[in-house]
Amino acid sequence: MIQIGQHLKPSDLNPKLKSFWELSGKKIDLIEKHYHASQGSPVFTVQGRYTTRGWTEWTQGFQYGAAILQYDATGEDRFLELGKRKTVEVMAPHVSHTGVHDHGFNNVSTYGNLLRLMKEGKIAYNEWERNFYVMALKVSGAVQASRWTTIKTGGYIHSFNGAHSLFVDTIRSLRSLVLSHSLGHILQAEGDVRIALLDRVIQHLQATADYSVYYGEGRDTYDVRGRTAHEIIFNVKDGNYRCPNSQQGYTGFSTWTRGLAWAMCGFAEELEWFDTVSEDELKAFSGKEKIMSVMLKAAKATCDFYIAHTPTDGVPYWDTGAPNLHQLGDYLDQPSDPYNDFEPVDGSAAAIAAQGLLRLGQFLKRKGDADGDRYWQAGLTVMNTLLDEPYLSVNPKHQGLLLHSVYHRPNGWDYVPEGSKIPHGESSMWGDYHVREAALYLQRIINNETYHTFFNI
């Protein structure tokens, strides 16, 4: 399990953060100089160069959102200019994309970050510019909400796989729907039926907590508290739950660690947002106390599972049930080894999980919950590892920032270097973006700046 650095302080990471942002800017420049947009959105690297491959266009917001985060962290205007220009030029199709559940990834990372910076006074206020971001976010959330499947216990935003499919990933992408509601928007359907976006936020959270997360309460033979299933399958004819499944993990009965990390981060930041919502606004639903308790139960369970099933330095292997983990011996009692011969680690899962641990820890500490320190220190431990080699990409020719990211192990999409038996040494758009986001989160705390949330708009 993670060997939590009990005495680590955010300020201890300050020297690493300064080096990190210098390196981050160079990576953004490398991609802008050498990546050809005609290929589509960059997804992950092959031999250190970004390439494209995927089911949907879900990573472009990370590309240009990274430039906006770089400006936020460093104040370098050229990155703001890049992020603004590319948001206008290329992001509009993502706002109206009816074929994906990934609106929070693409649009909150771009339009959302720009609106947040304006609210925080880090970019100049301009009414028409603000209206442009607001309109994009309103529409994005409504389009996301329209991907709806009704089940016996409520409903959920279905994945691009189809109406039968609930992805655990969507819990982090749900930010799009939250922002659209926060900006006063609704979804209108046939006959001018008005659909409350907050209702769909709550129902999706509940479905993910009920079906994608396990609690050790006897649900099935593999019901281990805190583990997650990547995909949950429903019968869309009668709304009944059928089974767990996995697209990018090993099986539906093991835990794909990036999916686990999406749940950790998603539930933690939704806890932060719901904490700002009034009791009165939630009375029409199940009430604030019940909603918060559902999310807190899921957040704690998933974070506990991550801590217990991750090597000592905080970076997990790609799936906790991967078939050759046993070849590594007592792998949970030693640091992760990205260069082993049996199973790859996933640095991107660690970057996402780190933010979940930090946010849950901070939330609980503010509430006077003694568990908060444990999650907070675990998050610092993970970040301390990621901000250094072998996870930080210091090769000046490598376009990626965070190394040892895994995209789709079952499909064999990840590059395996010559002489190796497993993929390693490569980066992904989501890994690079999320390590930047977690670094920015910590830097703002160190500098006593405005607490970083996606909903400060």
**Structural contact between residues 62 and 432, judged by C-beta atoms closer than 8 angstroms:** yes
Asked if residue 45 is part of any domain, the answer here is yes
User: pLDDT value at position 56?
Assistant: 82
Rounded average pLDDT over 388-411: 97
Residue range 166-207, pLDDT digits in tens: 999 999 999 999 999 999 999 999 999 999 999 999 999 999
Asked if residue 98 is part of any domain, the answer here is yes
Rounded average pLDDT over 423-447: 98
Asked if residue 457 is part of any domain, the answer here is no
User: pLDDT value at position 141?
Assistant: 98
- Residue 238 burial (10 A CB sphere; 0-12, 13-18, 19+): exposed
% of the chain beyond a pLDDT of 70: 100
User: pLDDT value at position 39?
Assistant: 85
CA 141 to chain centre: 17
Average pLDDT in the chain: 97
Residue range 83-98, pLDDT digits in tens: 999 999 999 999 999 9
Local structure of residue 106 (DSSP, 8 states): I
User: pLDDT value at position 189?
Assistant: 94
- Measuring CA to CA, which residue among 336, 351, 353 is closest to residue 424? 336
Rounded average pLDDT over 141-154: 97
Q: Given a cut of 80, is residue 55 above it in pLDDT? A: no
What are the angstrom distances between the C-alpha of 167 and each of 69, 71, 161, 289, 300? 27, 32, 9, 26, 20
Residue range(s) defining the domain that contains residue 358: 10-446
Rounded average pLDDT over 360-380: 97
Q: How confident is the model at residue 40 (pLDDT cuts 50, 70, 90)?
A: confident
Residue range 407-434, pLDDT digits in tens: 999 999 999 999 999 999 999 999 999 9
Look up the CATH number of the domain holding residue 315: 1.50.10.10
Asked if residue 282 is part of any domain, the answer here is yes
Asked if residue 452 is part of any domain, the answer here is no
What are the angstrom distances between the C-alpha of 27 and each of 70, 96, 238, 346? 11, 29, 49, 20
Measured CA to CA, the distance from residue 437 to residue 457 in angstroms comes to 17
Per the structure, how many domains does the chain have?
1
Rounded average pLDDT over 298-306: 98
**Structural contact between residues 376 and 357, judged by C-beta atoms closer than 8 angstroms:** yes
Q: Given a cut of 80, is residue 163 above it in pLDDT? A: yes
Q: Given a cut of 90, is residue 396 above it in pLDDT? A: yes
Q: Given a cut of 90, is residue 372 above it in pLDDT? A: yes
- Rg of the chain in Å (alpha carbons): 20
**Structural contact between residues 305 and 297, judged by C-beta atoms closer than 8 angstroms:** no
- Measuring CA to CA, which residue among 286, 337, 287, 334 is closest to residue 312? 334
User: pLDDT value at position 74?
Assistant: 98
**Structural contact between residues 386 and 397, judged by C-beta atoms closer than 8 angstroms:** no
Measured CA to CA, the distance from residue 194 to residue 99 in angstroms comes to 22
CA 39 to chain centre: 24
Asked if residue 453 is part of any domain, the answer here is no
- Measuring CA to CA, which residue among 454, 456, 415 is closest to residue 172? 454
Tokens 């006959």 -> residue: 191
Asked if residue 96 is part of any domain, the answer here is yes
Asked if residue 454 is part of any domain, the answer here is no
Cβ contacts of 364-373, under 8 Å, gap ≥ 24: 371/300
Residue 242 CB neighbours (<10 A): 11
Q: Given a cut of 90, is residue 260 above it in pLDDT? A: yes
